[in-house]
Amino acid sequence: MNLSEMNKEQLLKFKDDTQQLYNDFRSKGLCLNMARGNPCKEQLELSVNMLHSFDDNDFISTNGIDVRNYGLLDGIPEAKKLFSDMIGVDDDEVIIFGNSSLNAMFWTVQTAFNKGVLGNTPWSKLDKVKFLCPVPGYDRHFKVTEFFGIEMINVPMTLTGPDMDMIEKLVSEDEEIKGIWCVPQYSNPDGISYSDDTVRRFANLKPKAKDFRIFWDNAYCIHHLTENPNYILNILDEAKKAGNENLVYIFGSTSKITFPGAGVAVMGASRENVENLKKHLGISIISYDKMNQLRHVKFFGTFENMIEHMKKHMAIIAPKFKLVCDMLRKEIAPLGIGEWTEPEGGYFISFNAINGCAKRIVKLCSEAGVTLTGAGATFPYGIDKDDRNIRIAPTYPSMEDLEKAMELFIISVKLASVEKLLDDMK
């Protein structure tokens, strides 16, 4: 029975029963963390052989440079080849960074502040800088723009990507809008992949600001959860067709392919963007870790092998996503107290509770030993005005722990929902 159809007496009974279940759970003393999209131990094991990929007598890159020494600011040629394939650009349209694409994004924004974008006024000299933020979105993106004092404007997500009508209108009218955060494939947290139409509309944007850039964080470009995945359109190709090739910065990493702590991050962009950014990058570093670049290249060999490697990840984590969705479908759907995505890739399930319940659900889970991403975290400034979105990260716990954690989550959703409905009757 849908909870909204219950009368007060039924609701009170439902509340008492649920409270009892919650109390029982709390007494078990769980301690589980589903706050971040961390790979689990079995996933980490998939890449351990990479540590033995070196030939101790050969550390020479294809261009003759010893990867152990200084030099090659933008990466070794063989890493440029492999990772430009990964993010869909040519190998002279790429910069290989360190172990963190977040760090690469932070640096790119910071460089726009200090030096401007392709000869335009440094953002630090402007009265105001604004970014569009599809919501819900990735909390760490929003923290970067917040750090720099950038005003963030929410743009609602749809099933085909962010609201493009709104984006086209805003960027064509407001010169202070300098960027937008996008996770185009298996978006964080919704797991939505942008439709071809959405990608083309992005590529054809005509922003009023010449230095507007799309921050295309393709973090989950090959992180599929199905056998026959759909790929999004190549944004740089489409931007070139539109005569708009400087419009986009593409980011990616192997954080969830090899090791989150010790992967390789990469940025793709037009040659003009890349050349310009490299001039600034050279002030802050001599070179990133080229040994780790070569280690990755030797381990994978080709991009095709990387795709095969991702199937091993899928085999480990797809059942976890299925478990979460199955449990929600069984326990939450009949009650009409939540909606969620069933993603075909990425790292998250986005759950929308009844308005006004997200914070309470996260608190209930926390007090019974399961840490979730903070409610509101998926919105700029941590403000989910409807207080309804919760990001579920199912990859890290074991199947057994995940089932327990989801049992608690479901009980917490029920309890928070019935509390809210009763409260609304007052």
Q: Note the residues at the interface with its own copies (CB under 8 A).
A: 36, 38-39, 41, 44, 48, 51, 54, 56, 59, 66-71, 98-100, 102-103, 106-107, 110, 114-115, 124, 140, 143-144, 147-148, 255, 259-262, 280, 283-292
Q: Least Å distance between CB 53 and its own copies?
A: 10
**The tokens of 44 are what?**
């980490």
Q: Which of 379, 331, 333, 343 is nearest to 359 (CA)?
A: 379
Whichever of 252 and 338 has its CB closer to its own copies, that residue is 252
Q: Which residues contact 311 (CB under 8 A, 6 or more apart)?
A: none
The Cα 45–Cα 55 span in angstroms is 21
User: Which one, 140 or 359, has the nearer CB to its own copies?
Assistant: 140
CB of 260 to its own copies, least distance (A): 4
- In the chain, how many H helices and how many E strands? 13, 13
CB of 320 to its own copies, least distance (A): 16
Taking the least distance from each CB to its own copies, the nearer of 137 and 162 is 137
The token duo for 180 is: 């937008």
Q: Specify the amino acid at residue 18.
A: T
Residue closer to its own copies, measured from CB, 178 or 414: 178
Nearest 5°: the CA angle 83, 87, 90 is 75
Tokens of 217: 């964080």
Q: Which is nearer to its own copies, 198 or 253 (CB)?
A: 253
Burial 340-368 (b: 16+ CB within 10 A, else e): bbebbbbbbbbbbbbebbbbbbbebbeeb
CB of 39 to its own copies, least distance (A): 7
Query: Considering beta carbons, is residue 220 or 340 the nearer one to its own copies?
Result: 220
Q: Cα angle at 64 between 259 and 61, to 5 degrees?
A: 15
The smaller minimum CB distance to its own copies, of residues 103 and 371, is found at 103
**Measured from the CB of residue 220, what is the shortest distance to its own copies in angstroms?**
15
State the minimum distance, in angstroms, from the CB of residue 160 to its own copies. Answer: 30
Instruction: Decide: 256 and 306 in contact? Cβ < 8 Å.
Output: no
Question: At closest approach, how far in Å is the CB of 232 from its own copies?
Answer: 25
Q: Looking at the DSSP assignment, which residues form a beta bridge with residue 194?
A: none
